[in-house]
Amino acid sequence: MAQLWGGRFTKETDELVYRFNASISFDKKFYRQDMEGSIAHVKMLGKQGILTEAETQEIVTALREILKEVEDGTLEISHEYEDIHSFVEATLIDRLGDTGKKLHTGRSRNDQVALDMRLYTRQEVLEIDGLLKEFLQVMLGVMEEHVDTFMPGFTHLQKAQPVTLAHHFGAYFEMFKRDRQRMEDIYRRMNYCPLGSGALAGTTYDLDRYSTAAQMGFDGPTLNSMDGVSDRDYLIELLSALSTIMMHLSRFSEEVIIWNSNEYQFVEIDDAYSTGSSIMPQKKNPDIAELVRGKTGRVYGALMSLLTTMKGIPLAYNKDMQEDKELTFDAMDTVKGCLALFSGMVATMKFHKGRMEASAKNGFTNATDAADYLVNHGVPFRDAHGIIGKLVLHCIEKGVSIDELSLEDLQKISPVFDKDIFDAVSLETCVEKRLTIGAPGQKAMKQVIALHKEYLAQDWKSGISDWEAGLLS
Ligand code: ARG
């Protein structure tokens, strides 16, 4: 057991209590952010004359060395310490003696951990944004290639009206674009530095919180020290946005599984992204899509967990908050893994155009267009709906599609039909005539694709590009 406190205790901590309380097994994940935060803090203490220039230099150099050694594996983060903060401080004191003991001047682990988690999460938000962008690029590639790959559009999983593969993918493009916007939004709201909040009430030292915030690429310091140490809203917002990403991925997974089934065969998942069966030699299973769908539950779980953890906590810091870490780390890792795999799976997937088109042709996906034809020839819509309903019934009985009937047959049902009906209900016309923006018609689709290209060509500015270089060299 190695801990930073103990002066006011007369007994050793119970072994079980120590283990229950310790967080090093998971908070070592942000060892880098912990040391970066310490370097920024010490530099600011030096600038303010709270530490001498020599002390500042000595501590900063030692922290950089410790970080380097941890990264290259020469220094192992020992689990005998309570948390990563204790490990770093103890290692520093080991090396520098009394000077090392000055590191924690004007700081509490409460604002320290609030900072570390924010720094770590901020980086993850940017990474997730990058993965989302890559996925959007993959989807846009499919869209460009398939503006006239016809397929049935469904409602209630029943064939409804014909669309194109580009249009279907376009729906997912919108979802994941909104997911990216949520990342940007969360980033902007969370990008304030809690360091300097102290335990809860700031400190009596003359700290320059604007300086530490600027050193680490924050837009400024948080403006209330009690909130600074106890705000976990940004994690809840992030978990909510991650849950939404998983919900989107899960819906997409479900479609890929259906499309890849023996019955549909709209797509074939690449061998590299499929798995086999230990007993049935013929099987090629869509396990990746199923796992992504399955993992959605654990990300939702993380959101519920943290909301519940936070709901009864009085101001300011309470140890309950330590529970924010494992579940957030797990959710971020899960989403990153799923996004990367899903991009790869979609990028390598084969689309069977013929199967999709054949499926769009049978199933009366042109029934609405047949009704519209009658409307364009003066029949009121409600009557047209009834006439085409009868026509569909007739076709079902005969086992044919609308365009397979002769003109005489059609005219027996309504004399309004003329020979141009066949063109009016062809798959091509049904899709091509849908030209309002957002519809599957080729012209409308191409306009949207051009907008997507413009969108992907620009990046939102995170504004934190060089902050690490400033601290580490
Ligand atoms: N491991 C703690 C956490 O994650 C660090 C803060 C500890 N602060 C304290 N007052 N015990 O929240």
Quick check: CB of 207 below 6 Å from ligand 1?
no
Cα-to-centroid distance, 376 and ligand 1 (Å):
71
Instruction: Give the separation between CA 88 and CA 24, rounded to whole angstroms.
Output: 11
Residue whose entry in the numeric block shows the structure tokens 């970066």 = 36
Quick check: CB of 32 below 6 Å from ligand 1?
no
pLDDT tens over the chain, length 473 residues: 677 778 888 888 999 999 999 999 999 999 999 999 999 999 999 999 999 999 999 999 999 999 999 999 999 999 999 999 999 999 999 999 999 999 999 999 999 999 999 999 999 999 999 999 999 999 999 999 999 999 999 999 999 999 999 999 999 999 999 999 999 999 999 999 999 999 999 999 999 999 999 999 999 999 999 999 999 999 999 999 999 999 999 999 999 999 999 999 999 999 999 988 888 888 889 999 999 999 999 999 999 999 999 999 999 999 999 999 999 999 999 999 999 999 999 999 999 999 999 999 988 999 999 999 999 999 999 999 999 999 999 999 999 999 999 999 999 999 999 999 999 999 999 999 999 999 999 999 999 999 999 999 999 877 677 899 989 98
Cα-to-centroid distance, 109 and ligand 1 (Å):
6
**DSSP-derived secondary structure letter, 14:** P
**DSSP-derived secondary structure letter, 161:** E
Strand residues in 309-421 grouped as ranges (E)? 350-351
Residue owning the nearest CA to atom 2 of ligand 1: 322
Q: What atom in ligand 1 is closest to the CA of residue 325? A: 4
Amino acid 282: pLDDT:
87
Cα-to-centroid distance, 22 and ligand 1 (Å):
9
Quick check: CB of 211 below 6 Å from ligand 1?
no
Quick check: CB of 322 below 6 Å from ligand 1?
yes
83 token code pair: 């948390």
Cα-to-centroid distance, 126 and ligand 1 (Å):
26
The pick from 29, 110, 328 for probing ligand 1's pocket by mutation, whose C-beta has the most ligand atoms within 8 angstroms, reads 110
Instruction: Give the separation between CA 269 and CA 258, rounded to whole angstroms.
Output: 11
Instruction: Give the separation between CA 398 and CA 392, rounded to whole angstroms.
Output: 10
Quick check: CB of 235 below 6 Å from ligand 1?
no
Instruction: Give the separation between CA 76 and CA 59, rounded to whole angstroms.
Output: 20
Which residue segments constitute the domains of the chain, with CATH numbers given? Answer: 15-105 (1.10.275.10), 110-199+223-352 (1.20.200.10), 359-452 (1.10.40.30)
Quick check: CB of 109 below 6 Å from ligand 1?
yes
CA 70 to chain centre: 29
CA distances from 157 to 153, 161, 188, 254 (A): 9, 12, 39, 12
Quick check: CB of 23 below 6 Å from ligand 1?
yes
Cα-to-centroid distance, 4 and ligand 1 (Å):
12
Q: What atom in ligand 1 is closest to the CA of residue 324? A: 4
Sequence-separated (6 or more) residues with CB below 8 Å from residue 305: 323, 327
Known catalytic membership, residue 277 = yes
The pick from 5, 112, 322, 328 for probing ligand 1's pocket by mutation, whose C-beta has the most ligand atoms within 8 angstroms, reads 322
Cα-to-centroid distance, 319 and ligand 1 (Å):
6
Q: What atom in ligand 1 is closest to the CA of residue 85? A: 5
Sign of the C-alpha dihedral computed for residues 159, 162, 165 and 170 taken in this order: negative
Provide the whole-model pTM: 0.95
123 token code pair: 């980086």
Quick check: CB of 321 below 6 Å from ligand 1?
yes
Cα-to-centroid distance, 251 and ligand 1 (Å):
38
Q: What atom in ligand 1 is closest to the CA of residue 82? A: 1
Quick check: CB of 113 below 6 Å from ligand 1?
yes
Amino acid 463: pLDDT:
67
Cα-to-centroid distance, 230 and ligand 1 (Å):
11
Please tell me which residue in 23, 230, 277, 377 is annotated as part of the active site: 277
Q: What atom in ligand 1 is closest to the CA of residue 199? A: 10
Q: What atom in ligand 1 is closest to the CA of residue 321? A: 12
Please tell me which residue in 156, 278, 406, 473 is annotated as part of the active site: 156
Instruction: Give the separation between CA 37 and CA 85, rounded to whole angstroms.
Output: 11
Cα-to-centroid distance, 87 and ligand 1 (Å):
13
Number of H helices, E strands in the chain: 20, 4
Sequence-separated (6 or more) residues with CB below 8 Å from residue 21: 13, 82, 319
The pick from 13, 17, 18, 23 for probing ligand 1's pocket by mutation, whose C-beta has the most ligand atoms within 8 angstroms, reads 23
Amino acid 1: pLDDT:
64
